[in-house]
C-alpha cells in the first residue's frame, strides 16, 4: 500500500497500522506511545503559554522546508516570542485519500527532526482522512504548550525604544511563491523556516527587552502596524536599514511585491530600550539565525501609525494590506 486510503482515518485497523508503522516510528515520546485519548503531562509551577495553529501551505514541499517542519517551527516560534520555553506539542492531520505514504513519511520525519532540535515532546494527536478532492493533500493543526519565563507586554513599549529584526525579511514568502511554478524564474531562494527558541531564549535575560513577535502572514509591516495601534505610538523604520536579500528584492520588484509584507518563518521582531539594544544585538549575533540582526527603526510619541523613511530622505505611511499578497503561505 503506497497511498492513504479512507480507512486510514476510520479509527480501525488501518488507522492503528498507520500510527504504529509511521507516526510512532518517528514520534517517540512515552506520552504518545501510551495511545490514550489524552496525554498526561507535567506542567511546571508558574504561568503556562498555550497556542494553536493550522497549516495549509501550498505547495507542501518548498525550498528550505515542508509543511511538517513548518508546523513545528510555527508553533515553537509563537511560544518563544511569548517568553515561553516550548515543551509539548499536539498534532492533528487531515489527509486526502490517495495521498502518497512516501510523502507522508517525509513530512512526519521532518516533524520529528524539528521537534528534536527544540527538545519538544509530541504527546498527542489525531488523524482524519477525507475523500479525494476534499482536501489539498494534507492539512496539519497543532497546539503547543510552554512555560513562561519572561513576560512581554505592549504596555511596556515606550517612546525611544528601538525596533530590531533578527535577520533578512521576505525569504519565506519569496521561496514559496517561486515553488508554485507560476513564474518563469530560476533562483535558489530558500525559506527561512526555523525554530527560534534557541535564538530568543538567551535574550529573555536582558533587562530592557519589551516585546517580541514573529512576522509571519502579513510580514514585518503588518506586525508593526498592529503594534502601533495597540500602543497608540508611532513607529518609524528606515528603508536603508531593513535587511533584504538582493535576490529577494529583485524578485519582489519583478513581481510587484513588497518584502515588508512578505511572510517570514524564521525571524522575530524585538522591541527593546535604546540602552538594551547593544546587548540584544550582541547576543543575537552569536547565533547563526541572528547573524544579520539589526536595528531598523524606533518608537515615537510624536505621531501615530507606521512610517517608512525612504532612501531618498522622504517619509511615507505604511498600513495593513486588505489581504495577503500570497495566500496559503503557511
How many angstroms separate the CA atoms of 293 and 281, rounded?
Answer: 6
- Whether the Cβ atoms of residue 106 and residue 41 lie closer than 8 Å to each other: no
% of the chain beyond a pLDDT of 90: 80
Per-residue pLDDT, 325 = 76
- Whether the Cβ atoms of residue 58 and residue 86 lie closer than 8 Å to each other: no
- Give the pLDDT confidence of 209-218 residue by residue, as tens digits: 999 999 999 9
- Strand-pairing partners, residue 30, are none
Per-residue pLDDT, 130 = 96
Structural domains in the chain plus CATH codes: 6-148 (3.30.1330.10), 154-318 (3.90.650.10)
What is the grid cell recorded at 206?
536582558
Least confident of 13-17, 25-29, 184-188, 240-244: 184-188
How many angstroms separate the CA atoms of 202 and 115, rounded?
Answer: 19
Checking DSSP bridges between strand 65-66 and strand 61-62, what pairing results, if any? antiparallel
Per-residue pLDDT, 186 = 75
Per-residue pLDDT, 11 = 67
Amino acid at each position: 500500500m503506497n497511498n492513504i486510503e479512507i480507512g486510514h482515518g476510520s479509527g480501525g485497523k488501518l488507522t492503528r497500522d498507520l500510527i504504529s508503522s509511521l507516526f510512532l516510528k518517528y514520534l517517540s515520546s512515552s506520552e504518545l506511545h501510551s495511545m490514550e485519548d489524552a496525554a498526561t503531562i507535567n506542567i511546571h509551577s508558574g504561568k503556562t503559554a498555550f497556542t494553536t495553529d493550522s497549516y495549509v501551505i501550498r505547495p507542501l514541499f518548498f525550498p528550505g522546508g515542508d509543511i511538517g517542519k513548518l508546523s513545528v517551527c510555527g508553533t515553537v516560534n509563537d511560544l518563544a516570542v511569548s517568553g515561553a520555553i516550548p515543551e509539548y506539542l499536539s498534532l492533528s492531520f487531515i489527509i486526502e485519500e490517495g495521498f502518497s505514504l512516501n510523502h507522508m513519511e517525509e513530512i512526519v520525519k521532518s516533524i520529528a527532526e524539528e521537534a528534536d532540535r527544540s527538545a519538544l515532546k509530541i504527546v498527542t494527536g489525531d488523524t482524519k482522512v477525507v475523500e479525494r478532492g476534499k482536501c489539498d493533500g494534507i492539512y496539519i493543526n497543532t497546539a503547543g504548550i510552554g512555560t513562561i519565563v519572561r513576560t512581554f507586554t505592549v504596555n511596556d513599549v515606550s517612546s525611544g525604544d528601538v525596533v530590531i529584526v533578527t535577520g533578512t525579511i521576505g525569504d519565506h514568502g519569496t521561496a514559496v511563491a517561486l515553488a508554485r511554478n507560476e513564474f518563469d524564474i530560476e533562483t535558489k531562494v530558500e525559506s527561512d523556516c526555523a525554530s527560534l527558541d534557541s535564538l530568543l531564549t538567551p535574550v529573555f535575560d536582558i533587562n530592557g527587552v519589551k516585546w517580541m513577535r514573529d512576522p509571519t502572514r502579513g510580514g514585518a509591516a503588518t506586525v508593526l502596524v498592529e503594534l502601533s495601534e495597540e500602543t497608540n505610538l508611532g513607529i518609524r523604520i528606515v528603508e536603508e536599514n531593513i535587511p533584504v536579500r538582493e535576490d529577494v528584492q529583485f524578485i519582489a520588484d519583478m513581481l510587484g511585491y513588497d518584502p515588508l509584507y512578505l511572510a517570514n518563518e524564521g525571524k522575530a521582531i524585538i522591541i527593546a530600550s535604546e540602552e538594551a539594544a547593544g546587548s540584544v544585538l550582541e547576543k543575537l549575533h552569536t547565533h547563526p539565525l541572528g547573524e544579520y540582526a539589526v536595528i531598523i527603526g524606533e518608537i515615537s510619541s510624536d505621531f501615530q501609525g507606521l512610517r517608512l523613511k525612504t532612501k531618498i530622505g522622504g517619509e511615507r505611511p505604511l498600513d495593513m494590506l486588505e489581504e495577503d499578497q500570497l495566500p496559503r503561505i503557511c
